[in-house]
Amino acid sequence: MATSAMTGVSFDRDSLTFTGRRLPNVVEIVAEFEALKVSNPDEGPRYYSVTLLIDPKTGSVSGRTWWIKRGQEIVAYEGGKDKLRSLEKQVRDEVLKNYPEVWDLLAQRAPDPNYVVDHLGHVVKPDPPLIRRLL
């Protein structure tokens, strides 16, 4: 796992998968990955999921929602977000720099919430909204 020198937060790039779609004014990226537990890295890796809203012109993150796995459930992360900022930047940088074909496809596309691609650039059928809320 790559480690951020400032915070000690680690992000496993090999575990990263994501989907993306173009919405009005933003590209929505829904990423899933493993990283060391941000509050206590000595406790080992944890599953994280984040929805990032990224400005297609500047690449800046304008919104985010974090999800974590607790037992067998995926729940919204309500804790402090300061340590997650490092992971957020790493995920954004990974998408923009290492998946340029996918990023360019979405950033240059007209808004279409039904057109979703995965990290390989393949079109995928999104889950219906009710299924996404239940997961």
Residue 43: per-residue pLDDT: 86
Contact 79, 85 (CB under 8 A): no
pTM for the whole structure: 0.82
Is the pLDDT at 135 greater than 60? The verdict is no
Is the pLDDT at 122 greater than 60? The verdict is yes
How many domains are there within the chain? Answer: 1
Residue 87: per-residue pLDDT: 87
Residue 6: per-residue pLDDT: 42
Confidence grade of residue 80 (pLDDT, cut at 50, 70, 90)? low
Domain ranges, residue 59: 2-134
Nearest to 106 by CA among 65, 64, 55: 55
Please name the helix (run of DSSP H) or strand (run of DSSP E) that holds residue 125, with its range, or none: none
Lowest mean pLDDT among 6-15, 17-26, 59-68: 6-15
Contact 41, 28 (CB under 8 A): no
Confidence grade of residue 5 (pLDDT, cut at 50, 70, 90)? very low
Residue 103: per-residue pLDDT: 95
